[in-house]
Amino acid sequence: MNLKKLPSILGVFAFFLIIKHFFCVFFKRTETNIISDEGIKILENPDKKQDLRKAVDEYHRTGDWSKTSLKKII
């Protein structure tokens, strides 16, 4: 094996890895979704869903998220 080629192979591999990572982050952060992935997960769970609705009600009464049980849900 020609060791001179090793950094070149590493370089090319790393280069494509960086590009792939960059595009993944770039496209993930520029998605146009109304509902977040975490939000969907909460709504899929019946208990959390009910707790979340209760937290929203509490928030409507108090106007302060820290006074609600939201932290426990998310």
Partner 1 sequence: MNLTFGFIALFISIIIPGILFRRYYYYGEFSKQFHTKDPVLHSIFLSIIPGVCVQIIVFYILSEMNFFDIENIKIFNIYKDFSFLESKEINSDTVKFFQDGLGKFILYSIIVFLFASLSGILSSKLLRFLKLDIKFKIFRFKNQWYYIFSGEVLDFEKFRIAKNVQFNELPENQNVLLTYADVLVSNNQGNRELYSGYVVDYDLNQDDISKLEKLYLLDAFRYKKPNSSNYFEANDKTSFSSTSESFRIIQISNESYNSSRLRVSIPGDLLVLAGENIQNINLTYIPSKKMAEIKSNKKDRTLKKVLYSIFLINSILIILHLILPFINYGEYSFIDNYKLNTTFLEKIVFLIYFYQFTAIGIPSKDELGNYSYNFKKSMLPRIVVFILITISVYVYYIN
**Per CB under 8 A, 19 contacts partner 1:** no
* Count of residues that bind partner 1 according to CB under 8 A: 42
Q: Of 19, 20, 21, 26, which one interacts with partner 1 (CB under 8 A)?
A: 26
Q: How far apart are CA 63 and CA 58, in angstroms?
A: 8
Q: How far apart are CA 43 and CA 58, in angstroms?
A: 18
Minimum CB separation of residue 20 from partner 1 in Å reads 15
**Per CB under 8 A, 69 contacts partner 1:** no
From residue 34, how far is each of 3, 37, 38, 62 by CA, in Å?
51, 10, 12, 26
**Per CB under 8 A, 6 contacts partner 1:** yes
